[in-house]
């Protein structure tokens, strides 16, 4: 049933795997000899698949934690009002932090999140995203590690959902408009 909702495959499993390896190499080089206390924070729920694949490629000691934040509610567009649904369990004071996101769109959620985390006295806060929609940015945020730049399409797969479905697709695809505009 899910396959009939797909318009086009944007990135295959193989393309995603190669990009994850490339990002992990950049991250390994950046943090080499720098951090004994790297905390990798996955933003739930979308980034969990990407985070799992990424950390298996890291040749660094890492701590893993998750945050759940929402600015979408049940809409397909960000409201700009950010709500923390699940906060960190780990302390990040005096540690390097790497935020892992599935997709960055307006940047409003990440701007709020980085401001919030900055108050916790981390050594550094860097951002890694698999997908980036730079032209949709409404908030200035530095993104340190970027997988793919993507057009303004409604996408699903590889952890990214529509109405809590399609996360289990091994690729990233565009969704037919009639599916999300019903």
Active site residues: 105
Tracing tokens 């649904």 back to the chain, one arrives at 85
Query: How far apart (Å, rounded) are the C-alpha atoms in residues 41 and 80?
Result: 21
Helices 48-55 and 13-31: angle between axes, nearest 10 degrees: 60
Which of 98, 114, 2, 12 minimizes the C-alpha distance to 58? Answer: 98
H or E element in which residue 22 lies: helix 13-31
Strand order in the sheet with 6-11: 6-11, 172-175, 155-156
């Amino acid at each position: 049933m899910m396959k009939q909702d797909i318009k086009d495959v944007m990135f295959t499993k193989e393309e995603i795997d190669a990009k994850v390896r490339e990002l992990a190499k950049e991250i390994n080089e950046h943090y080499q000899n720098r951090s004994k206390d790297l905390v990798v924070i996955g933003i739930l729920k979308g980034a969990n698949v990407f985070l799992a694949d990424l950390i298996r490629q890291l040749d660094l000691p890492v701590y893993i934690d998750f945050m759940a934040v929402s600015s979408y509610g049940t809409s397909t567009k960000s409201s700009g009002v950010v709500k923390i649904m699940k906060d960190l369990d780990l302390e990040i004071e005096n540690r390097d932090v790497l935020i892992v996101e599935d997709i960055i769109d307006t940047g409003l959620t990440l701007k709020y999140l980085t401001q919030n985390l900055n108050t916790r006295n981390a050594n550094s806060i860097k951002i890694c995203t698999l997908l980036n929609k730079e032209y949709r940015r409404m908030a200035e945020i530095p993104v340190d590690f970027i997988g793919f730049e993507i057009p303004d399409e409604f996408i699903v797969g590889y952890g990214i959902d529509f109405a809590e479905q399609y996360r289990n697709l091994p690729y990233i695809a565009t969704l037919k408009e009639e599916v999300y505009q019903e």
